[in-house]
Amino acid sequence: MQYDISHGSTAYATYARGYKGPAFNVFYNLTATGTNVIAPETSDSYEIGLKNTLLGGKLTLNLAAFYAKYKNFQANNPDLVAGVVVTRFTNAGDVSTRGVELDATLRPVRDLSITGGAAYTDAHVDKFNAPAGSATIPAGTPLGFAPKWKGNVSVDYRLRTGGFADVLLGAQGSYQSSELGLFAADAVQRQLGTIGAYSLVNLGAGLVSKNDRYKLTFQVRNLFDKSFAAAIANGGPGQAYRYQIPRDADRYFGVTGRVNF
């Protein structure tokens, strides 16, 4: 449903029903717990929001609130089959997510653009289907890789020189709160497998031809050399934890050239 409040403001509400069909595991030598049919996953999602164009088109501001409930959530589960660790498909249980989002774009003058966004998301387990004899993950446990807070802002400016090329200047910053990198029943493992909060800052400067056909950009990523992990897993040598380190976890420099035809 949509309602135009004014020429530059629109309110909306949506409902969606999702369905993911049944499935089977296809590994050989599965035990009886792995040969069953995976039940369909269903979801009910709701969203309400506002979309606004303000200040004569210079400011775009969007707000949204959402809620989604997933039943018979289909997920991968590590399992031991004939002495080999395999990934088995299971109905993990019921999960839900809710939150609010904001994004905005401001163009106060012709060549200056400021964009940003922020989101609060609470995604957690509602009911966990633990195999017989296994530990249960408590209701309310956050879902993996679902930080509660995320935000970003970027500023881009084009300096028109009147010469053969204009100068481009840009800066971007982002933040995310801590997130669960190791989804496990043991609370200690979840604590040790939590990826801490971190912020990143990127800078860029470049030259662009007047007709935007040629563009050369110099950039520095992760200006303050902030270290962080993209994922954490257990089961390493001596039961050590393994950290997957992404490229952006170290400061680096680069040059990008682009030609538009």
d(CA 218, CA 167): 11
pLDDT confidence of residue 90: 86
Pairing of strands 231-233, 242-244: antiparallel
Amino acid residing at 49: G
pLDDT confidence of residue 79: 65
What average pLDDT is seen over the chain?
Answer: 92
pLDDT band at 80 (very low <50, low <70, confident <90, very high): low
pLDDT band at 238 (very low <50, low <70, confident <90, very high): confident
Percent of residues, the chain, with pLDDT higher than 90 = 76
pLDDT confidence of residue 233: 86
Tell me if 170 sits within 8 A of 156, measured CB to CB: yes
The partner residues of 166 in beta bridges, in order of sequence, read: 208
d(CA 200, CA 221): 8
- Measured from the Cβ of residue 118, the count of other Cβ atoms closer than 10 Å reads 15
Instruction: Tell me the Cα Rg of the chain.
Output: 24
pTM of the entire structure? 0.88
* pLDDT, tens only, 148-203: 999 999 999 999 999 999 999 999 999 999 999 988 888 998 999 999 999 999 99
pLDDT confidence of residue 33: 62
d(CA 43, CA 20): 9
- What string of DSSP letters covers 98-158? EEEEEEEEEEEETTEEEEEEEEEEEEEEEEE-PPTTSPPPPTTPBPBT--SEEEEEEEEEE
**How is residue 257 written in tokens?**
């050239």
Alpha-helical regions (H) of the chain: 187-192
Domain ranges of the chain: 1-117, 144-261
Residue 35 in this model has a pLDDT that exceeds 80: no
